Amino acid sequence: MQPGNYTAVLAGKNGATGVGLVEVYDIETGVFADLTNVSGRGFVGTGDNRMIGGFITAGGNGSTQVVVRGLGPTLTQFGVSGALADPEITLFDGNGNVVYSNNNWKDTQPAAIQLSGLAPSNDLESAIIITLPGRTLYRYS
């Protein structure tokens, strides 16, 4: 398969619901593929119904700079119904420790996020820009 934009859809057979996982590997190396944009969309509730995503940095012994965004109002212009009006995002390390949290992206790191070219279009949306050590698991909710 050639490099490019692809979408993977995970669904339960015959409309079943539950928890699933999508992983992308580079078959030649047997490790996670080098991805530059990974996104997820799902129903966001509270407590056990929170949406949780994750990623593993592949910076080896170095580090990787990432931008993690929580979009809501922007999605409505693309016909997404039920989008969060004011999303908040928290980044956790593999042990469940909070690494960084953000509610409204302009409240923290606005200059760095704008310079990344990935600033959310709505002030109520959330974003984090952070440099993380390589080969480490992170999750966000």
pLDDT tens-place string over residues 50-79:
777 777 776 666 777 888 888 889 988 988
Is residue 107 in some structural domain? yes
Question: pLDDT higher for 51 or 121?
Answer: 121
Is residue 119 in some structural domain? yes
Q: Helix, strand or coil for residue 17?
A: coil
Q: Do the Cβ atoms of 36 and 24 come closer than 8 Å?
A: no
- Confidence tier at 93 by pLDDT (50, 70, 90): confident
* Residue 75, pLDDT score: 87
Is residue 8 in some structural domain? no
Domain that holds residue 57: 43-140
Is residue 11 in some structural domain? no
**Average pLDDT of the residues of the chain:** 79
pLDDT of residue 21 exceeding 90, the answer is no
User: Which neighbouring-strand residues pair with 139?
Assistant: 54, 92
* Residue 110, pLDDT score: 96
Is residue 36 in some structural domain? no
Reading the block at residue 20, the tokens are 């699933």
**CA–CA dist 125, 105 (Å, integer):** 6
For the whole model, what pTM was predicted?
0.75
Number of domains in the chain: 1
The 8-class DSSP code of residue 5 comes to: -
Is residue 70 in some structural domain? yes
* Residue 130, pLDDT score: 87
Is residue 32 in some structural domain? no
- Confidence tier at 104 by pLDDT (50, 70, 90): very high
pLDDT of residue 33 exceeding 60, the answer is no
